[in-house]
Amino acid sequence: MSKVAERFLKYVSFDTQSKDEEEQVPSTEKQLVLAKELVKELEEMGASDVRLSEHGYVYATIEANTEKNVPSLGFVAHMDTAPAMSGRDVKARIVEKYAGGDIVLNEEKNIVMTVKDFPFMADCEGRDLIVTDGTTLLGGDDKAGVAEIMTMAAWLLAHPEIPHGTIRIGFTPDEEVGRGADFFDVEGFGADVAYTVDGGPLGELEYENFNAASGKVYIHGVGIHPGGAKNKMKSALLIGMELQSLLPAFENPMYTEGYEGFFHLDQFAGDVEYAKMDYLIRDHDMDKFTQKKELFASAAEFLNKKYGEGTVELKIKDSYYNMKEKIEPYKYLIDIAKEAMEEVGITPEVSPIRGGTDGARLSYMGLPCPNLCTGGYNFHGKFEFIPVQSMEKVVELLLTIVRKFEKIEK
């Protein structure tokens, strides 16, 4: 088995699911178990300045072995997996030399990944696909990035004859709950520029992302026996449904793509007396993003006028911003990544991220940080999979980028 696949299968055995709405970082103690294992491995392979911060961030350095004055280059990935689905007791298996067609993930539970639902499966014929048993996510987002960076690091440290500048490595917790950069030590990290390795299929290269905010809605209703409820009952559930109806119907993830933003109702729970709604608000364009937040607030204001002040409480919090303006002065990062991809046989596909990465926030913290592919598909769900050959190709890509940076004079 290839080294990167071996590492990946080891890392997905660690349950590192993060948890939303927790004050501490990391949001779950179990993320520290993988963090400590990575520290151990980095020390054993010979990396320097290996450290684990109090908040669960892993940092390491591969010292320069060239006399040239070249930029120090960082690679960043996150250790946690999404709250959307369990990452506990992942039963990964390899479909060797995938012959095409549907894949039965779990015969007992009749869970099948079909080409009808995922036509891009046809592009993976002949490759060795790592899949789940249909009861958990796989964890490729972003343990694939972690495994690829670790494999690159091990190779460089085992081949000191290959000249390179200073390489910084960073692994973060809590990216999936929007807190991956909260305590990232940019100054201590010491990289001039960096890449996150947190994208999808081979070729993805991203330096534009959503402007993002979360919207928390708390609805206070009045419960009373339905037999005598006229002019008395105030159903928090129905008011929540009314709030959703006030938002543009087609500005919804189901109907949007590319640069189109959306309002996404992620959770809705409650009863007549009290209900809570969690929204994601997204747009690449800052003006449209601002307008979306204003519209969201005006919907709550309208309902308070209709049902009484205090019926709807609203909290809107910005999560991250489009990194494009921070990356554009460093467009050479994109040019180098494109050239490296072409050299190793990957077709670059520059596209906007319909989401965000740690790199978006790190770019605003002074560390320009576009995003590279990992090779994975269908993140955050039971149909997640990743070809072994794609991970191997990403390792080759990272090594090629390192080689190209050695030729850049500061």
pLDDT tens digit sequence for 39-58: 999 999 999 999 999 999 99
- What pLDDT does residue 410 have? 77
- Identify the burial level of 347 via C-beta atoms within 10 angstroms of its C-beta, where 0-12 means exposed, 13-18 middle and 19 or more buried: exposed
Report the alpha-carbon angle 220-222-227, nearest 5: 150
Q: Tokens 């490729």 appear where?
A: 140
What type of residue is 18?
Answer: S
Give phi and psi for 196, each to the nearest 5: -85, 145
- 196 vs 373: CA distance, rounded Å: 9
Report which DSSP code applies to 80.
-
Tokens found for residue 292: 């979306």
Strands (E), 200-334: 204-206, 211-220, 262-270, 274-283, 312-320
78 labelled ligand-binding: yes
Which residues of the chain fall short of a pLDDT of 70? 1
Q: Contact, 293 vs 316, CB < 8 A?
A: yes
User: In DSSP terms, which residues pair with 131 in a beta bridge?
Assistant: 93, 385
Considering the candidates 41, 128, 174, 175, report the single residue annotated as catalytic.
175
* Three-class SS state of 227: helix
Instruction: Decide which of 3.40.50.10490, 3.40.630.10, 3.30.565.10, 3.40.50.2020 is the CATH code for 1-206+321-404.
Output: 3.40.630.10
176 labelled ligand-binding: yes
Considering the candidates 80, 142, 260, 392, report the single residue annotated as catalytic.
80
Domain ranges within the chain, ordered by starting residue: 1-206+321-404, 210-318
Tokens found for residue 208: 């534009």
Number of other CB atoms surrounding residue 25 within 10 Å:
20
- 279 vs 4: CA distance, rounded Å: 37
- What pLDDT does residue 1 have? 66
Strands (E), 5-132: 48-52, 58-62, 73-78, 93-95, 103-106, 111-113, 129-131
175 is catalytic: yes
> Fold match between 1-206+321-404 and 210-318?
no
Q: Using alpha carbons only, how large is the chain's radius of gyration in Å?
A: 23
185 labelled ligand-binding: no
198 labelled ligand-binding: yes
159 labelled ligand-binding: no
Q: How many helices (H) and strands (E) does the chain have?
A: 10, 17
- 31 vs 62: CA distance, rounded Å: 24
Residue whose C-alpha is closest to residue 59's, from 47, 71, 73: 47
* Three-class SS state of 347: coil
Number of other CB atoms surrounding residue 256 within 10 Å:
17
User: Is 3.30.70.360 the CATH classification of the domain at 210-318?
Assistant: yes
